[in-house]
Amino acid sequence: MLATLLASIAEKKARLDRLRPLRPQALAGLQKHYDVQLTYTSNAIEGNTLTLRETAEVIEHGLTVGGKPLRDHLEAVDHYEALLWMRALAATENPVDENTVCELHRRIVARSQPDIAGIYSRNPRRIAGSPVVFPNPAKIPELMEQFGAWLKTPPPEPASAFEAHFRLAAIHPFADGNGRTSRLLMNLLLIRGGYPPVAVRPEDRKAYLDSLERASLANDLLPYKTLLHQRLEATLEEYLGALREALPE
């Protein structure tokens, strides 16, 4: 199954490459749509209660939604602005390293949890209902230094982006926001490789979390890799369709 997915992704990526260079005017509206969606989905997986429409209203108009927690609004603004920073970084040749990860995290929780922004946790981290045990807090600096060094080495391929996500999630260096940071890092590496960013949707949540847990406990990454490659294939198809509508004949 994974081999079939890889072949389909390669074919769709080749079709996307044939459309390049993409005009900024054609991309602007498309990227805005995807960035709001990425913000909504990544926050929703972590329990944020804003709907897609409400997330768009908060981001685009600064509106507050009655009955929804203030933190949910702040998380939407934080994630969106961190995403814009990530896109700008992806367009440069600046290295992706440990400092990049910390800056992504700092921006993701800048308003919602400023006291932990970009700071490694000094306490044990657990996920409610999961048997996964994360590394001792004393080991985080060394593990993150090693991870940062590794980030400079992998080829710009989807497999590398998905591995970076898993490695960071497995270290779980921050008190909160690890999942959002891991997904933004993944998408940074995907964009650098010429791929569209991938949203893990709320309906994917159980399969996604189960696959991460299985990868950590049983060292079986196949379900995790399969799920994310499925999401990439679907996103490429959607992206190509949207570009065909946006580009002139």
Q: Say whether 177 counts as a known binding-site residue.
A: yes
Q: What pLDDT, in 10s, does the model give residues 13-42?
A: 999 999 887 777 667 778 888 999 999 999
Q: What pLDDT, in 10s, does the model give residues 195-218?
A: 999 999 999 999 999 999 999 999
C-alpha–C-alpha distance, residues 68 and 249, integer Å: 44
Q: Say whether 29 counts as a known binding-site residue.
A: no
Q: To the nearest whole percent, how much of the chain has pLDDT over 90?
A: 83
C-alpha–C-alpha distance, residues 171 and 179, integer Å: 11
C-alpha–C-alpha distance, residues 244 and 248, integer Å: 8
Whether the CB-CB separation of 36 and 80 falls below 8 Å is answered with yes
C-alpha–C-alpha distance, residues 170 and 164, integer Å: 10
C-alpha–C-alpha distance, residues 221 and 216, integer Å: 8
Using alpha carbons only, give the angle 84, 206, 101 rounded to the nearest 5 degrees: 30
Whether the CB-CB separation of 49 and 68 falls below 8 Å is answered with yes
Pick the more confident residue, 25 or 170: 170
| pLDDT the model gives residue 55 | 97
Whether the CB-CB separation of 112 and 78 falls below 8 Å is answered with yes
Q: Say whether 204 counts as a known binding-site residue.
A: no
Instruction: Please check the confidence at residue 225 and state whether its pLDDT lies above 60.
Output: yes
Amino acid at the residue 237? E
- In order of 122, 197, 243, the CA distances from 204 in angstroms are 31, 16, 25
Q: Average pLDDT, stretch 172-178?
A: 97
| pLDDT the model gives residue 26 | 65
Q: Say whether 180 counts as a known binding-site residue.
A: yes
Q: Average pLDDT, stretch 167-177?
A: 97
* Among 163, 187, 164, residue whose Cα is nearest residue 86: 187
Pick the more confident residue, 242 or 106: 106
The residues annotated with a catalytic role in the active site are 172
Q: Say whether 67 counts as a known binding-site residue.
A: no
Q: Average pLDDT, stretch 186-191?
A: 98
Q: Say whether 182 counts as a known binding-site residue.
A: yes
- Whose tokens are 């004949």? That residue is 249
Mean of pLDDT over the chain: 94
Q: Average pLDDT, stretch 142-168?
A: 96
pTM: 0.95
Report, at the CATH architecture level, how domain 2-246 is classified: Orthogonal Bundle (1.10)
Confidence tier at 249 by pLDDT (50, 70, 90): low
**Residue 115: CB atoms within 10 Å:** 7
* Among 247, 206, 191, 244, residue whose Cα is nearest residue 34: 191
Domain extent listing, the chain:
2-246
Q: Say whether 178 counts as a known binding-site residue.
A: yes
Q: What pLDDT, in 10s, does the model give residues 76-128?
A: 999 999 999 999 999 999 999 999 999 999 999 999 999 999 999 999 998 87
Whether the CB-CB separation of 77 and 55 falls below 8 Å is answered with no
Indicate the DSSP class of residue 247: S
Q: Which residues contact 22 (CB under 8 A, 6 or more apart)?
A: 243, 247
Confidence tier at 230 by pLDDT (50, 70, 90): very high
Confidence tier at 247 by pLDDT (50, 70, 90): low
| pLDDT the model gives residue 169 | 97
The distance in angstroms from the start CA to the end CA of the chain is: 35
